[in-house]
Amino acid sequence: MKFSPKIFNSHPKQDGDFFLGIKRILGFKPKNIEVYKKAFLHRSMNKRDQEGNPMNYERLEFLGDAMLGTIISRHLYSSVPEGDEGYLTKMRSKIVSRKHLNELGKDLGLLNYVESRIPKSHFGENIHGNVFEALVGAIYLDRGYTFCEKFIQSRVIEPYVDIEQLEGKVISYKSLVIEWCQKQKKSFHYDVYEDTGNDVLKHFAVKLTIGEKILAKARATSKKKAEEKASKRAYFALQHKIESH
């Protein structure tokens, strides 16, 4: 029997939105919703647990920061077998940079869930990255290492980690593609439209037409990212042609 009244007990009505919101962000069901609530609790709320210990997202942020570093290390270890220790360390710090984490937290709209006495407009940029790290810590406590790894794979590594671009070998695939089109005297056109569908975040889709042919499509959380993603795909599709020039 699939139906169980327990489901309703553990997520009373007022928690329903939070539960659904978190589920969409995670891509899987939270088990213990309380730990996620803590991940969004700002110290200004002055909450304390039953033992009287201060309760806010900062301890989870400590845990999530470590988890994130480890999972990114593991990814780099296998995806760049030729990189030495120094290279791996440098790449990891680029991926988990404050700027990058803030972008991630912002794309996931985490600020919407933050509970605080301070108006949200008063927070600096770092709140996005800090809450993102706390969320990673919460996932680890709730579902363990493997779920945490999957979350980081789908929400960080796949959409954001491009080794070539992080190495600075490629600044922008879009500019490479445009340059090629101009040299080849081929027309090109980026057709961008909103396409959020059932996603947690606003999404944009783009079609890149070169000459008469739709060469690549892509979706991402900003117009710029979608164009860059489509350009990257087009670049690899055209690579042998580009490189022979």
Asked whether the CA dihedral 7, 133, 77, 100 is positive or negative, the reply is positive
- Structure-block tokens of residue 174: 């879009």
**Minimum Å distance from CB 163 to a copy of itself?**
15
- Phi, psi (5° rounding) for residue 187? -75, 155
Instruction: Tell whether residue 58 is among the known ligand binding residues.
Output: no
**Minimum Å distance from CB 85 to a copy of itself?**
4
Instruction: Tell whether residue 243 is among the known ligand binding residues.
Output: no
Q: Which strands make up the sheet holding 213-220, listed edge to edge? A: 188-194, 204-210, 213-220
Residue with tokens 């006495």: 117
Active-site residue flag, 49 = no
Residue type, 125: E
Closer residue to a copy of itself in complex, CB, 67/220: 67
Active-site residue flag, 58 = no
- Structure-block tokens of residue 9: 């007990």
Hey, how many other C-beta atoms are within 10 angstroms of the C-beta on 212? 7
Closer residue to a copy of itself in complex, CB, 58/115: 58
Out of 103, 133, 142, 227, pick the active-site residue.
133
Residues forming contacts to a copy of itself in the complex (CB under 8 A) are 49, 51, 53-54, 58-59, 61-63, 66-67, 69-70, 73-74, 77, 81-85, 88-89, 137, 140-141, 145-146
**Minimum Å distance from CB 86 to a copy of itself?**
9
Task: List, by residue number, the catalytic residues.
Answer: 65, 133
